[in-house]
């Protein structure tokens, strides 16, 4: 597995949890916040927020800087951008595959409508 695939996998795994997505939204809206501030905005305990922040930090989605006695967290958008690019690449690949299938199917349908050379039978309707 490449480093990029591993990073994208960590981001997708972290974002699989709806609470972590909500936490990331709160943090993105506030700019920078402590676990206590984030917990006040969510229906979960500060300890749960800290655990979710650890998963997001391990995936590279947030970073924390100590300010006095608090750790203030901020969103790091680069891993999200990388995951979005990966998904766009996969979507483009599938679009190319589906376009090829469509082209082949249309060519096959057009070929079935023409009479076979040397055949006296009319083409099927």
The edge-to-edge listing of strands for the beta sheet with 62-67 is 32-34, 70-75, 62-67
The CATH number given to 1-111 is 1.10.10.10
Residue 4's pLDDT is: 64
CA atoms of 42 and 26, how far apart (whole Å): 8
Residue showing tokens 């960590």: 10
Residue 28 sits at φ, ψ, to 5 deg, of -65, -40
pTM above 0.75? no
pLDDT, greater one: 122 or 16: 16
Tell me the pLDDT tens digit for each residue of 8-34. Answer: 999 999 999 999 999 999 999 999 999
Query: Under 8 Å CB-to-CB from 26, ≥6 apart: which residues?
Result: 33, 38, 41, 42
Domain boundaries defined on the chain: 1-111
């Amino acid at each position: 597995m490449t480093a990029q695939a591993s990073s994208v996998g960590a981001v997708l795994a972290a974002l699989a949890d709806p609470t972590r997505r909500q936490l990331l939204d709160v943090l993105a809206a506030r700019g920078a916040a402590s676990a206590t501030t984030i917990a006040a905005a969510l229906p979960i305990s500060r300890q749960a927020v800290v655990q979710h922040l650890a998963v997001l930090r391990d995936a590279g989605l947030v970073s924390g800087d100590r300010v006095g006695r608090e750790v203030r967290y901020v969103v790091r958008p680069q891993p999200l951008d990388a995951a979005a690019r990966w998904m766009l690449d996969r979507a483009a690949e599938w679009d190319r595959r589906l376009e090829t299938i469509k082209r082949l199917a249309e060519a096959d349908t057009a070929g079935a409508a023409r009479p076979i050379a040397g055949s006296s039978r009319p083409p099927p309707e």
